[in-house]
Amino acid sequence: MIVIMKEGAPKDAIEEVKKIVKEAGYTPHDLSGEMKTVIAAVGDGRDKSRLESMESLAYVERVVPILKPYKLCSREVKKEDTIITVGNVAIGGKHIVVMAGPCSVEGEEQIVSIARDVKAAGAEILRGGAFKPRTSPYSFQGMEKEGLELLKKAREATGLPIVTEVMNPRELDLVCEYADILQIGARNMQNFSLLKLVGQVKKPVLLKRGLASTVQEFLMSAEYILSEGNREVMLCERGIRTFETATRNTLDLSCIPVLKELTHLPIITDPSHGTGYWQFVSSMSKASVAAGTDGLMIEVHNRPEMAFSDGAQSLKPKKFAQLMKELRPVAEAVGRTI
Which pLDDT tens digit goes with each residue over 81-134? Answer: 999 999 999 999 999 999 999 999 999 999 999 999 999 999 999 999 998 666
Nearest Cα neighbor of 136 from 309, 272, 303 is 309
Confidence of residue 313 (pLDDT cuts 50, 70, 90): very high
| 3-class SS string, the chain | CEEEECCCCCHHHHHHHHHHHHHCCCEEEEEECCCCEEEEEECCCCCHHHHHHHHHCCCEEEEECCCCCCCCCECCCCCCCCCEEECCEEECCCECEEEEECCECCCHHHHHHHHHHHHHHCCCEEECECCCCCCCCCCCCCCHHHHHHHHHHHHHHHCCCEEEECCCHHHHHHHHHHCCEEEECHHHCCCHHHHHHHCCCCCCEEEECCCCCCHHHHHHHHHHHHHCCCCCEEEEECCECCCCCCCCCECCCCHHHHHHHHECCCEEECHHHHHCCHHHHHHHHHHHHHHCCCEEEEEECCCHHHCCCCHHHCECHHHHHHHHHHHHHHHHHCCCEC
Determine the pLDDT at residue 140: 63
Determine the pLDDT at residue 53: 86
Longest dimension (CA), the chain: 68
Distances (CA, A) of 113 to 42, 51, 105: 47, 57, 11
Determine the pLDDT at residue 257: 98
Which domains does the chain carry? 2-64 (3.30.70.1140), 84-333 (3.20.20.70)
Nearest Cα neighbor of 18 from 46, 36, 39 is 39
Bridge-based pairing state of the strands 37-42 and 295-299 = unpaired
Determine the pLDDT at residue 247: 96
Which pLDDT tens digit goes with each residue over 47-85? Answer: 677 788 888 888 898 898 888 889 899 998 888 999 999
Examine the pLDDT at 136 and tell me if it is beyond 80: no
pTM for the whole structure: 0.89
Which pLDDT tens digit goes with each residue over 252-279? Answer: 999 999 999 999 999 999 999 999 999 9
Examine the pLDDT at 325 and tell me if it is beyond 90: yes
Which pLDDT tens digit goes with each residue over 137-162? Answer: 656 666 889 999 999 999 999 999 99
| Mean pLDDT calculated for residue range 320-334 | 98
Determine the pLDDT at residue 132: 67
Which pLDDT tens digit goes with each residue over 2-55? Answer: 888 888 888 899 899 999 888 888 888 887 766 678 888 887 766 677 788 888
| Mean pLDDT calculated for residue range 306-319 | 93
Determine the pLDDT at residue 1: 84
Determine the pLDDT at residue 135: 65
Determine the pLDDT at residue 23: 86
